Amino acid sequence: MGLAGSLAFVFVAGLVTDLATGLGALPFFYTDEISDRWNVALWGLASGIMVSASLFGLFNEGLAYSTGLPLLLLGGIVAGAALVEVSDRILDRIDIGGDDAETDGGHSHDEADGGHNHDDADGGHSHDEHRLEAEAFAAGDIKKLALILGILTIHSFPEGVAVGVSFAELGLEGGVPILGFSVPVLAVFMTIAISIHNVPEGTAIAIPMRAMGLSNWRMVGAAVFSSLPQPVGAVIAFVFVRWAQSFLPFGFGFAAGAMVYLVATEFVPEALETGTDLPGGGRRVLVVGFAAGVAVMLPLLFV
């Protein structure tokens, strides 16, 4: 198996996770609205999957590759979390809304968020990004779409890295045979995990587009667009860990740290914003979804 074939396979795996984002828009082919309860449950499921995949899979794999004190692994975790935090702070200083952001009252997205008033008091960026992406697609604004893609890269790239590093042992014995490749079990789990996680992302993107009256297939296209950095991130991470095997623990730690930090600072706040009007602020639904996500990834403990 040549390097070109390996790169193509990893890119396809990343592309699968990207296309899975489009699944989040499919419910709008059959209904005009998705309940907040389902949205919160999906965010909880995605969060549980991401955290457990990071801990049961990436962290454990990083430990297995570490010798002595796992300093590279711990350094990767810190670096992954730091990248997300620094990136968010930079984004806070960038005005991508322009005049359009004023027309709906700044952060009051009544239509785009299904009738709720979210002020983003927790510092989250997701609602603004989803609304602005919808506006850019509706207007065909290429410049704004390019800028939004750069912003989305910050959020999608770590997930692509997680897929890429999980393929570090691609082609070695003991993997799952897929299309003539020996695929690491961890890579199979991570590809599935990121794909499932991307479904509620796609739904969150489709909600404001539905409010704007955009067509079903444009919603699917916008959802897929939002995760375009993932296959690229997967290939870059795969090349890095294959080129520098000694840095594998750092790669695993980086992906795990970034994803857990994203869950804590983006996914959970997004779920709680969405569930504001649910009993208990949606926390019970979130916990149930999170527990279901953890249960899905439990087999990683026995691989």
Name the more confident of 47 and 244: 47
Cα separation values, 51 from 46, 166, 271, 286, 297, Å:
9, 15, 15, 14, 9
Whether residue 275 is contained in a domain is answered as yes
Say if residue 150's pLDDT is above 70: no
Q: How far apart are CA 8 and CA 231, in angstroms?
A: 10
pLDDT at residue 11, rounded to an integer:
95
Model pLDDT, residue 154 = 67
Pairwise CA distance, residues 249 & 242, whole Å: 12
pLDDT at 170 over 80: yes
Residue 1 lies in a domain: no
The answer, yes or no, to whether residue 180 has pLDDT greater than 60, is: yes
| Residue 123 located in a structural domain | yes
CA dist 23 and 5 (Å) reads 27
pLDDT at 187 over 70: yes
Q: Is the dihedral of CA 203, 205, 208, 209 positive or negative?
A: negative
Any domain includes 3: no
Confidence of residue 130 (pLDDT cuts 50, 70, 90): low
**pLDDT > 90 in the chain, percent:** 27
**Considering the domain boundaries, does residue 92 fall inside one?**
yes
Collapsing DSSP to helix, strand or coil, 178 comes out as strand
Average pLDDT, rounded, for the chain:
80
Does 2 map to a domain?
no
For 167-207, strand residue ranges (E) read 176-178, 181-183
- Give the residue with greater pLDDT, 178 vs 93: 178
Distances (CA, A) of 212 to 39, 56, 111, 295: 19, 41, 8, 37
d(CA 141, CA 124): 24
Res. 91: pLDDT tops 70: no
What confidence tens digit (pLDDT) does each residue in 68-88 have?
Answer: 889 999 999 999 999 888 877
Least confident of 71-80, 97-106, 131-140, 188-197: 97-106
Q: Tell me if 249 sits within 8 A of 76, measured CB to CB.
A: yes
Domain region containing 207: 8-302
Tell me: pLDDT of 135 over 70: no
167's enclosing H/E stretch is none
Residue 112: what pLDDT?
40
> For residue 52, how many other CB atoms are within 10 A of its CB?
21
| Predicted confidence (pLDDT) per residue in 278-292, tens digit | 888 889 999 999 999
Per-residue model confidence as pLDDT tens digits over 227-262: 888 999 999 999 988 888 788 899 999 999 999 998
Phi-psi region of 68 (alpha: psi -120 to 50; beta: other; left: phi over 0): left
User: Residue 246 gets which letter from DSSP?
Assistant: G
Q: Is there a domain that residue 132 lies in?
A: yes
Is residue 186 within 8 Å of 301, Cβ to Cβ? no
Quick one: pLDDT at residue 75? 94
Q: What are phi and psi of 181, to 5 degrees?
A: -105, 145
Q: Amino acid identity of 155?
A: H
Cβ–Cβ contacts within 10 Å for residue 33, how many?
12
97 belongs to a structural domain: yes
**Is the pLDDT score of 149 beyond 70?**
no
pLDDT at 16 over 90: yes
CA distances from 280 to 63, 86, 276 (A): 38, 32, 8
| Residue of higher predicted confidence among 112 and 286 | 286
State residue 152's pLDDT score: 65
DSSP assignment, residue 183? E
> Total structural domains in the chain?
1
Q: Does the pLDDT at position 153 exceed 60?
A: yes
pLDDT confidence of residue 204? 81
Specify the DSSP class assigned to residue 280.
Answer: G
| pLDDT on residue 17 | 93
Q: Say which residue, 161 or 118, is predicted with more confidence.
A: 161
Most confident of the following: 74-78, 137-141, 218-222: 74-78
Residues 302/58, Cβ–Cβ less than 8 Å: no
